[in-house]
A and B are shown apart, each in its own frame.
Chain A
């Protein structure tokens, strides 16, 4: 899969910072506003998809391959399990053990933002890895569809 021109590459590189910032905001304020881990993970994966579309799947596979996607997905799943097992400090599995308050403050959720961050890692890396796997299909048509090498 080929990349695009220099203008598209530069603009995508600038936009990735803003998309990642917005995704992190949606993840961390999951207990205040609609969002949370799943929606924020999808936004982060969409930012990485923008880079794949702009730079080409081959170049992105050298920088962030499927192996890194699988590793980060597993880190997210293990982090979620750690947050759940740490609930044993307060007596029960997955109980909310950090101090929490009623209201709309940022630190009022207890252990929910940590679970949100772990879920965002899991969903984002999983969607990015799935997209890389699905983009590995090459259409075996005539010679007008072959990739240009040494361009």
Chain B
């Protein structure tokens, strides 16, 4: 059960974001919920690549500093999986583009209706 604790954290973040999208009426809070869901998914997929080696502490898959003498075999035995981290970089950039587009739409809605409240935006005519 303790091994799955990071994944439970990611599911909890996802649930908080889903609550924000479904319940809140302010548009900015809904946008924050969308961002929270995206970040929780990224965190989950990065945490899947983690592993605990038998001897030694886990290493990040980057070039070691010159003052640390780590041989190649030891590095291969101790480092975590670098593939999910590289793929999540592209996912973070996609999240940036989605956020920019949604925030511009929210700004335009505010200019047109004068409020961020979703219940009032449905009532007013254009």
Contact A42 B93 (CB under 8 A): yes
Q: List, in ascending order, chain A residues with CB within 8 A of B63's CB.
A: 32-33, 104
B72 at the interface (CB under 8 A from A): yes
B41 at the interface (CB under 8 A from A): no
B100 at the interface (CB under 8 A from A): yes
Q: For chains A and B in complex, what number of residue pairs have CB atoms within 8 angstroms? A: 34
Contact A103 B72 (CB under 8 A): yes
B62 at the interface (CB under 8 A from A): yes
Q: List, in ascending order, chain B residues with CB within 8 A of A36's CB.
A: 86, 89
B111 at the interface (CB under 8 A from A): yes
Q: List, in ascending order, chain B residues with CB within 8 A of A35's CB.
A: 89
Q: List, in ascending order, chain A residues with CB within 8 A of B86's CB.
A: 34, 36
Q: How many residues of A contact B (CB 8 A)?
A: 19
Contact B108 A34 (CB under 8 A): no
Q: List, in ascending order, chain A residues with CB within 8 A of B108's CB.
A: 137
A127 at the interface (CB under 8 A from B): yes
Contact A137 B104 (CB under 8 A): yes
Contact A34 B89 (CB under 8 A): yes
Q: List, in ascending order, chain B residues with CB within 8 A of A127's CB.
A: 97
Q: List, in ascending order, chain A residues with CB within 8 A of B48's CB.
A: none
B96 at the interface (CB under 8 A from A): yes
A139 at the interface (CB under 8 A from B): yes
Cα of A137 to Cα of B100 in the assembled complex, Å = 14
Q: Please, what's the 1-or-0 string for B88-123, where 1 marks a CB less than 8 Å from any CB in chain A?
A: 011011001100100010011001000000000000
Q: Please, what's the 1-or-0 string for A13-45, where 1 marks a CB less than 8 Å from any CB in chain B?
A: 000000000000000000011111011011000
Contact A38 B89 (CB under 8 A): yes
Contact B62 A102 (CB under 8 A): no
- Min distance, Cβ B78 to any Cβ of chain A, angstroms: 15
Given contacts A103-B72, A104-B63, contact A130 B93 (CB under 8 A): no
A134 at the interface (CB under 8 A from B): yes
A123 at the interface (CB under 8 A from B): yes
Contact A102 B72 (CB under 8 A): yes
Q: List, in ascending order, chain A residues with CB within 8 A of B90's CB.
A: 38
Contact B89 A39 (CB under 8 A): yes
Cα of A41 to Cα of B90 in the assembled complex, Å = 11
Subset of 20 A-B contacts with CB under 8 Å: A32-B62, A32-B63, A33-B62, A33-B63, A34-B62, A34-B85, A34-B89, A36-B86, A36-B89, A38-B89, A38-B90, A38-B92, A39-B93, A42-B93, A103-B72, A104-B63, A123-B93, A127-B97, A134-B104, A137-B107
